[in-house]
Amino acid sequence: MIQYILIGLLILGMILTMYQLYLSNSWTTMIKRKQEQYTNAPSIKSNQKALYHRMELCTLALACVLFVPPQMLQKNNSVAPEFILDDGDAISYQLKNESDMEIAPQKANPLSSTNHNTNRELSKSSPDSISLITMLSNQQELVTVSLEMVDTNARVLDSATFLELYANQEILISKQTSLETCDYIVLISSKDISERELLFKEEEKEYLLCDSMDEICYALSK
Amino acid sequence: MFKIKFSITEKDKIKQVLGIEESQAYEIVLCKCKEDMEEDKINLVFDMDRLDEVATKIQFFTEVKKIYLDGKSEAGEIRLALEDILYIESFGNDIYAYTMNEIALLPLKLYQLTEQLEPFGLIRIGKSCIVNVAHIYAVKPHLNGKLTITMTNKKEIEVNRTYVTSFKNYIKK
């Protein structure tokens, strides 16, 4: 949409500049003819550098807008997960188009809630960290997403156990929005989202996974 | 002022001997036969052999008498040639004429000057300004209908929308 508006504005600018060039040319010609009635050497000069420069700029900008890859202007919607909220707590998601992720679904999503009485839907344009972990836990060969676990002493831990635990749990959105202390940090990075830090903490009845950027915490019941 | 209807080599010689230039808006046609004559123009028909004789005759057209305006400058009373005046501007009741080097206070009213100077290429372009068309250096039309004129001394003068039409009509004459 932004691209179309830009193209429209630039074309309008070019048309107006061309009209001004035409006006400038016709005025210069008229005055030159008049001057020739009084003198053999007309003093008027065709000074259209500024207009030609503006025309060049418009053309250049138009070329840039036309040849900019559409991905740079639009976020990739192909992997947009759809969230369906169940009475404000339970969360389930489904990928709109799994083939776009270059993976074949191997099993049904274990995180899908079975009792959906929902009417509220929340769509996001790009996958967030939690949906990427979910995808990872379902499909471990996923090459576009990487996950790393670091403990508080900056030691890298094995993330396979975490993913296995994650895949078999029901995830709820916790009332808590942040964690002050954590057991370890889950670093997740993909081409769709830049590196994100998730804080993981084991509590008495549940595991908490908090995204400080989105200010949201997910609870995995034990 | 002139149009020369001769071959290219003859044309160069004529320009050199007579000291004239061709222009798109011409009144005098120089040609070698009656067939080249143009209606509503002054036609001079001659052979190249008699070019020297034409040179003396053509002085009548080229040596136009200068018209002067009297005014007062810082140095005292001066006489300004009309062709040297770039523009005339009024400030209250005072009328100033600007040349490349001088500014003179004129003892006339702007409306009197407008009437008297229009046949000599000076046209009113605003409530308080008259410009000499021969000294316009550049013109810049705007999309809102206004016009900015740059004079040979690089002074920029704006033509109001109300005066653009009359200015255009004058230029087209």
Q: Which residues of B touch A19 (CB under 8 A)?
A: 143
- Chain A nearest C-alpha distance from B1 (Å): 6
B100 phi/psi in degrees, rounded to 5: -65, -35
**Residue A92 and residue B108: Cα distance in Å, rounded?**
91
- The reply to whether the predicted model has a pTM over 0.90 is no
B135 — pLDDT class (breaks 50, 70, 90) = very high
Quick one: CA dihedral A37, A38, A41, A44, positive or negative? negative
* pLDDT per position as a tens digit, B26-69: 888 888 888 888 888 888 898 888 888 888 777 776 666 678 88
* ipTM of this complex: 0.71
Q: Which residues of A touch B25 (CB under 8 A)?
A: 33-34, 36-37
A120 — pLDDT class (breaks 50, 70, 90) = very low
Looking at residue A107, its pLDDT comes to 38
Six token digits for residue B102: 């001088």
Q: Burial level of A66, CB count in 10 A (0-12/13-18/19+)? A: exposed
Q: Which residues contact B58 (CB under 8 A, 6 or more apart)?
A: B18, B20, B44
Six token digits for residue A46: 């065709």
Looking at residue A136, its pLDDT comes to 66
Looking at residue A95, its pLDDT comes to 38
Q: Does the distance separating the beta carbons of B20 and A30 come in below 8 Å?
A: no
Six token digits for residue A143: 């090459």
Q: Does the distance separating the beta carbons of A36 and B25 come in below 8 Å?
A: yes
- Chain B nearest C-alpha distance from A17 (Å): 9
The total number of residues shown for chain B amounts to: 173
Instruction: Answer whether residue A110 shows pLDDT above 60.
Output: no
B140 close to A24: Cβ distance less than 8 angstroms? yes
With b for 16 or more beta-carbon neighbours within 10 A and e for fewer, the A144-175 pattern comes to ebebebeeeeeeeeebeebbeebbebebbbbe
Residues 101-120 of B with CB under 8 A from A: 120
Q: Which residues contact B146 (CB under 8 A, 6 or more apart)?
A: B158, B159, B160, B161, B164
Q: Residue B43 in 3-state DSSP?
A: strand
Strand-pairing partners, residue B158, are B148
- For residue A115, the tally of other CB atoms under 10 A from its CB is 9
A79 close to A95: Cβ distance less than 8 angstroms? yes
Count of pairs with CB atoms under 8 A, one residue in A, one in B: 73
Could you tell me which of A111, A77, A107, A75 has the C-alpha nearest to residue A93?
A111
Asked if B173 reaches chain A (Cβ–Cβ under 8 Å), the answer is: yes
Q: What percent of chain A has pLDDT over 70?
A: 64
* pLDDT per position as a tens digit, A170-189: 778 888 888 888 888 887 77
B131 close to B149: Cβ distance less than 8 angstroms? yes
Mean pLDDT across chain A:
70
Nearest Cβ partner for A44 among B24, B27, B138: B138
